[in-house]
Structure 1
Amino acid sequence: MENGQIRNLIRKFISERPRNTAEISAWVNSQDSSQTPRSDIASILELDANIVRIGTVRRSGIAGKEYPLSEWATDEWVAYHERKEPGKEEMK
């Protein structure tokens, strides 16, 4: 499966809620028989302008630096769920 196709699949998968790299990788592998490596998934996500890294997921028991376990969302999801910053008047 080509990177463009993978990006489109991932955008649809994370459009409802953010997902971490491991969830995305497992889901892509279940959709595609070519078994795209997880490190490639992170690279694909980082290069897509419509996908945003919103945080890092910390899990106990993970050792090594195989790939970053980050949480990803679409830019539309982030814009919709973004909190408004309180104005100066609200802070008084």
Structure 2
Amino acid sequence: MGAERVREIVRNYLSERPRNTAEIAVWLNRHDDEAKGADVAALLESDSSIVRIGTVRRSGMTGSAPPLSEWATEKWVRHHERAKPDKK
């Protein structure tokens, strides 16, 4: 499966709610044998319709383990943006 097809199925997966890099990698490995071992973060960063919205710590991990990035689609972000308060 080509990179564009992988991006498409990841976009569909992210349309439900944001997910972290580990969740996406596990889900992708279950659904696409060719995607195993792919650099998920690089794949997500190369798609302009997917944005990094924050970071999360791995559950139960302590020490200097880097946090995981959390990803969402642009459409999800626009739909869930908070309205800016009116200035008075």
User: Do Structure 1 and Structure 2 share a fold, with TM-score over 0.5?
Assistant: yes
Corresponding residue SS for 2:51? strand
**What is the TM-score normalised by the length of structure 1?**
0.83
Q: Distance in 1 between matches of 2:70 and 2:6?
A: 17
How big is the alpha-carbon RMSD for the aligned residues of Structure 1 and Structure 2?
1.8
| Aligned residue in 2 for 1:4 | 4
Aligned structure 1 segments of 4 or more residues deviating by more than 4 angstroms: 62-65
Larger-gyration structure (1/2):
1
Which runs of structure 2 are paired with 1:49-68 in the superposition (5 Å)?
Answer: 49-59=48-58, 60-61=60-61, 64=65
1:46 is the counterpart of 2:54: no
Equivalenced residue count is: 86
| Aligned residue in 2 for 1:21 | 21
| Aligned residue in 2 for 1:75 | 74
Gaps of 5+ in 2: none
Structure 1 residue 44: Cα displacement: 0.5
Structure 1 residue 72: Cα displacement: 0.4
Gaps of 5+ in 1: none
Contact 2:6–2:35, Cα closer than 8 Å, also in 1: no
